Chains A and B, each alone.
Chain A
Amino acid sequence: MIRLLDRTLTTLEYGNGAITGNALLELASLLTRAGADWIELPLEAYCLMGAIPDGVKAILRIHHSREASDYPNFDYYITKSKEADEAKPLINEIQVNDVKEIELLKRYQHLRYVCITGLDDMLLSSYPNEMKRLLDIFGRNVWFCPEDDCHCATALAVEWLARGGRNVAVSFMGRGGYAAFEEVILSARIALRQKMGVDLTLLPRIQEIISQMASVQVAPNKAVLGSRIFTVESGVHADGLIKNPTIYEPYPPQSVGKERRIVLGKHSGRVAIKVKAREQGVELCDQKAGLLLEKVRAWSIEMKRGITESEFLILLKEVAGNEG
């Protein structure tokens, strides 16, 4: 059983009025329903929220262990203070910037719970051995929060879970330089057969709430969330998708709240042309489909983009005349 700690709320900038308690309450609930086992809250967020929503398990970020007594409603507290406090469920966050430092972590072996943050370069080393060393030192009560400076944070989080680690810390879209929540959850599903029951159709709504609270730019091809990841033009891929979507899709678009779209352009093929024509009630023979394909490609090359629905209708009329 794997456990995800989501740190998205700690990556927001508070105090500028853009963030409301209600939005945070909804965000924490949605992240939980989408697969987060724990939500890390900074004090600013908790003060705005006033309470922890039903069904949400929260971890409060504090500066010193003594602050925990002021906020007694939490199962865990997370701090960078490196205090050993047997009376409180304190997760000590330790920043480790280089795999060579792992050996030195033995001095923290007495701490009950730790979160190891950093190790962005771990994939350049023999990472299975390094992960094993971390588990040997701290046992299973260790959270791993890989950072993304080497663009490998998601991969490290997934490998950690595949190699006996139980807890990882992530953030939505990898905000703050961590592994991306949505990528780790989906990888857990596809590669590890875990998190099968969570509702990933909530991801677009989560993205929307965060974009209302912070300046967020999502590339159109961003893994899992991008607006165009299920838009297909190439003939080979469109043909395969029409026959059986699993040929070219790693997971169904609907499972993450998206839709597949087949568009036409320079790289289209005859099958997609026929399907698009059929959608307009026109059955094309091979010869006419070939002719229309030539026109679509020429138009796309001339316009330097894919062709729009209305442009397709014009070209279809030219080729098919009054057929259909």
Chain B
Amino acid sequence: MKAKRFIVDTTLRDGEQSAGIVFTIDEKVRLAALMDQCGIYQIEAGIPAVGRVEKEAIYRIMSTRKKARISAWNRMSTEDIRHSMECSPDIIHIGVPVSYVQIYTKLKKNKRWLENELMRCVDMANSAGFDVTVGFEDASRADISFMTNLIKRLEAYRVLYIRFADTVGVLTPGRTADSVKNILEYTDMAMEIHVHNDLGMAVANSLEAAKSGALYVDCTLNGIGERAGNCDFQKFVSVGERIFDFGIDKAASQELLQEFSSILRMEMMA
């Protein structure tokens, strides 16, 4: 029997972050319904802090979904998380930059501050009754020991899994495998892999992460996303299903991809 792995679709969040791509509320709701129907495990539906329209989309997706779990993306900010809570998603995802270049140059903070702020945010979402996932941004350029220690602290909270994000797309399959195996060896946390295609290796790196024990794999339709995009859903599933069971219904995924192509065509013409 093939091992089970779960697809997390982030077309409506990271995909829409591609410059110039905007989905209407109706489009988001329609795509989410088709993703749900084809067996995608989790749908990252958007960023509530962006505003009213984004919140309404997530709220409507929540009200129509059948099986998929719906998550909302947040920066490590209590204000962002409050916006998310208003949409009542299944999962509140909190993104935390973990590489030193991000902590010291972008946030202009230090590791101690980061740890405390993260625990405060996770606690806030947990206390309000939400499941939480935490995204380690720029994990591929971060210190494994630092990430492992952070996970150890997070194990005390209700965190479902940790997203290992190759934010700038510099992983190779070998480095992916080493990182995922290292973290799994030293912690009891489940892992999600999120890669970008800057070097053309997104499908390979996602496969290698899944082979190394990551249970959740982030994809986008047509591989859209920041810069060279994310792991392409169709490509990943078509290759990965030779060794994994993703629970994806082929006919329904064709319908989803057709609908997405027609939306994207309109996008390009707009």
Q: Is A196 an interface residue (CB 8 A)?
A: no
Q: Is A84 an interface residue (CB 8 A)?
A: no
A-B contact pairs, 17 of them (CB 8 A): A127-B173, A155-B172, A156-B204, A159-B173, A191-B199, A221-B225, A230-B227, A239-B106, A240-B106, A244-B101, A248-B167, A263-B19, A265-B19, A267-B47, A300-B22, A301-B53, A305-B22
Q: Is A286 an interface residue (CB 8 A)?
A: no
Please tell me if the beta carbons of B200 and A180 are within 8 angstroms of each other in the complex: yes
Please tell me if the beta carbons of A250 and B20 are within 8 angstroms of each other in the complex: no
Please tell me if the beta carbons of B17 and A187 are within 8 angstroms of each other in the complex: no
Please tell me if the beta carbons of B199 and A186 are within 8 angstroms of each other in the complex: yes
Tell me the nearest residue of chain A to B227, going by C-beta: A229
Q: Is B3 an interface residue (CB 8 A)?
A: no
Which residue among B167, B198, B236 has the maximum number of chain A CB atoms within 10 Å of its CB? B198
Q: How far is the CB of A290 from chain B (nearest CB, A)?
A: 12
Q: A residues within 8 A CB of B208?
A: 123, 155
Contacting residues of chain A (220-241) with chain B, CB-CB under 8 angstroms: 221-224, 226, 228-234, 236-237, 239-240
Please tell me if the beta carbons of A159 and B172 are within 8 angstroms of each other in the complex: yes
Q: Is B75 an interface residue (CB 8 A)?
A: yes
- The interface on chain A, measured as residues whose beta carbon lies within 8 A of the other chain's beta carbons, has a size of 58
Please tell me if the beta carbons of A226 and B228 are within 8 angstroms of each other in the complex: yes
Please tell me if the beta carbons of B227 and A233 are within 8 angstroms of each other in the complex: no
Please tell me if the beta carbons of B228 and A221 are within 8 angstroms of each other in the complex: yes
Interface size on B, as a range, is: 35 or more
A155-178 near B? 1/0 per residue, CB < 8 Å: 110110011000000000010000
B33-75 near A? 1/0 per residue, CB < 8 Å: 0000000000000010011010000000000000000000001
Given A191-B170, A247-B101, A304-B267: A232 in contact with B197 (beta carbons within 8 A):
no
Please tell me if the beta carbons of A266 and B50 are within 8 angstroms of each other in the complex: yes
- Option from A151, A223, A263, A267 in Cβ contact (under 8 Å) with B198: A223
Q: What separation, in Å, do the CA atoms of A128 and B205 have in the docked complex?
A: 14
Given A123-B207, A183-B200, A228-B19: A151 in contact with B168 (beta carbons within 8 A):
no
Please tell me if the beta carbons of A124 and B239 are within 8 angstroms of each other in the complex: yes
Q: Is B270 an interface residue (CB 8 A)?
A: yes
Q: B residues within 8 A CB of A124?
A: 207, 239, 242-243
Q: Is A152 an interface residue (CB 8 A)?
A: yes
Q: Is B223 an interface residue (CB 8 A)?
A: yes
Q: Is A2 an interface residue (CB 8 A)?
A: no
Q: How far is the CB of B127 from chain A (nearest CB, A)?
A: 26
Given A154-B204, A155-B204, A162-B174: A240 in contact with B243 (beta carbons within 8 A):
no
Tell me the nearest residue of chain A to B232, going by C-beta: A151
Tell me the nearest residue of chain B to A222, going by C-beta: B228
- Option from A150, A159, A236, A263 in Cβ contact (under 8 Å) with B20: A263
Closest CB pairs A-B (n = 3): A155-B204, A183-B200, A233-B19
Q: B residues within 8 A CB of A212?
A: none
Contacting residues of chain B (212-255) with chain A, CB-CB under 8 angstroms: 223-229, 232, 235-236, 239, 242-243
Q: Is B89 an interface residue (CB 8 A)?
A: no
Given A151-B239, A224-B228, A228-B19: A267 in contact with B50 (beta carbons within 8 A):
yes
Please tell me if the beta carbons of A229 and B228 are within 8 angstroms of each other in the complex: yes
B127-145 near A? 1/0 per residue, CB < 8 Å: 0000000000010000000
Q: A residues within 8 A CB of B16?
A: 266-267
Tell me the nearest residue of chain B to A189, going by C-beta: B199
A98-130 near B? 1/0 per residue, CB < 8 Å: 000000000000000000000001011001100
Q: How far is the CB of B218 from chain A (nearest CB, A)?
A: 16
Q: A residues within 8 A CB of B75?
A: 236
Q: How far is the CB of A84 from chain B (nearest CB, A)?
A: 34
Q: Is B126 an interface residue (CB 8 A)?
A: no
Please tell me if the beta carbons of B204 and A221 are within 8 angstroms of each other in the complex: no
Q: B residues within 8 A CB of A150?
A: 203, 239
Tell me the nearest residue of chain B to A301, going by C-beta: B53
- Option from B168, B199, B239, B270 in Cβ contact (under 8 Å) with A187: B199
Q: B residues within 8 A CB of A223?
A: 169, 197-200, 228
Q: What separation, in Å, do the CA atoms of A274 and B159 have in the docked complex?
A: 36
- Option from A159, A243, A300, A301 in Cβ contact (under 8 Å) with B105: A243
Q: How far is the CB of A145 from chain B (nearest CB, A)?
A: 16
Q: A residues within 8 A CB of B78?
A: none
Q: Is B148 an interface residue (CB 8 A)?
A: no
Please tell me if the beta carbons of B270 and A304 are within 8 angstroms of each other in the complex: yes
Given A154-B204, A221-B227, A223-B198: A247 in contact with B106 (beta carbons within 8 A):
yes
Q: A187-B201, A221-B18, A224-B199 are in contact. List 12 more A-B contacts (CB 8 A).
A: A123-B207, A221-B197, A226-B228, A231-B20, A232-B19, A232-B227, A240-B102, A244-B101, A263-B20, A266-B50, A305-B20, A306-B22
Q: What separation, in Å, do the CA atoms of A21 and B149 have in the docked complex?
A: 61
Q: Is A285 an interface residue (CB 8 A)?
A: no
Q: B residues within 8 A CB of A247?
A: 101-102, 105-106, 138
Q: What separation, in Å, do the CA atoms of A155 and B232 have in the docked complex?
A: 15
Q: A residues within 8 A CB of B18?
A: 221, 228, 233
Q: Is B175 an interface residue (CB 8 A)?
A: yes
Q: What separation, in Å, do the CA atoms of A248 and B22 have in the docked complex?
A: 21
Tell me the nearest residue of chain A to B171, going by C-beta: A191
- Option from B20, B207, B236 in Cβ contact (under 8 Å) with A233: B20
Q: Is A280 an interface residue (CB 8 A)?
A: no
Tell me the nearest residue of chain B to A300, going by C-beta: B22
Q: A residues within 8 A CB of B207?
A: 123-124, 152
